[in-house]
Amino acid sequence: MSADVCVLASFMYDLVATAPRRPGPGETLIGSQFATFVGGKGFNQAVAAARAGATTAVIGRLGEDLFAAEFREFLGAEGIGATDVSSDPEHGTGVGLPVLDETGQNSIIVIPRANLAVTVADVEAARARIESATVLLLQLELPMDATVRAARIARAAGVRVVLNPAPAATVPADLADAVDVLVPNEPELRQLTGARADELVLDVARRAAAGRSYALIVTLGPDGALVLEPGRGEVHVPGLRVDVLDTIGAGDAFCGSLGARLAAGDPITEAVAFANAAAAVSVTRRGGAASAPRRAEVLDLAGTPART
């Protein structure tokens, strides 16, 4: 299938523990809840894009295990194209171990497994899928050489490249040069730029955007997002206040929804407003991919129409 949004996707099966707080070194802490969810930043973003109304396809690797079967069932139920998701007989499906505290904040350990076996050859095999898309969504949970190749293929074909630089890492020049929209959160922005803790986020964003051809969107949680577009100045898009239950997947809901609306032709600020609302809905429920809202839910919270 051709797709509006193509995602070079990581797959992480999340085993989530809820406790009053995070345990200290050497401490055993009694938790209150346990749940499992299909996740991974790329997978979550693909689900968010599909639920926001975009035809969506993914590229990546799963193991040959029960976790993989659950992913494939979920992809099918969401109508997400998975022709380019390989079954890896040597590596298991990726696993994430989030710890969620009573405030809804989370810390996560990830074991990538099959995700780290994604190769440039895998990307080349999916070249037609990338070239036929309108938007390519990327993160930094997969090998960098495969991510760079996907970005370069998309750029050469005129496909808009959206990079969420998470987990935070150095973005090599050959990847940065192929990016159209960079979407870090505030901690990722500070790590990418080496900013001091006392620097204003707007000053850090201005420095990160200086001399770049890409648009920079800095997500700020409940405070919304900063948008810096070359030649168009700076805009703060306000956030929406909701009762937070679980922040897992909020950034992915933002990025996937953003990609869907950019693929639909929205200007960046309108796409960001929609993505803010999607992230706000997502934090009111548990899970990563499972928390991504449908388009109607986002419009209901945002209270404004979006383009079809």
Number of H helices, E strands in the chain: 11, 13
Say how far apart CA 73 and CA 84 lie, in whole Å.
15
Asked if 84 is an active-site residue, the reply is no
Burial of 7 (0-12, 13-18, 19+ CB in 10 A): buried
For the chain, first and last CA: distance in Å?
Answer: 21
Cβ atoms of 209 and 228 closer than 8 Å: yes
Give the single-character DSSP code of 294. Answer: P
Say how far apart CA 176 and CA 163 lie, in whole Å.
9
Say how far apart CA 172 and CA 198 lie, in whole Å.
26
- Give the 3-state secondary structure of residue 185: strand
What tokens appear for 229 in the block? 């577009």
Say how far apart CA 292 and CA 252 lie, in whole Å.
8
Cβ atoms of 168 and 188 closer than 8 Å: yes
Q: What angle do CA 304, 306, 308 make, to 5 degrees?
A: 150
Say how far apart CA 294 and CA 109 lie, in whole Å.
28
Say how far apart CA 140 and CA 218 lie, in whole Å.
16
What tokens appear for 84 in the block? 């380019």
| Backbone Cα Rg of the chain | 18
Distances in Å between the Cα of 168 and the Cα atoms of 59, 185, 304 are 21, 9, 33
Among 14, 88, 252, 266, the active-site one is 252
Active site residues: 252
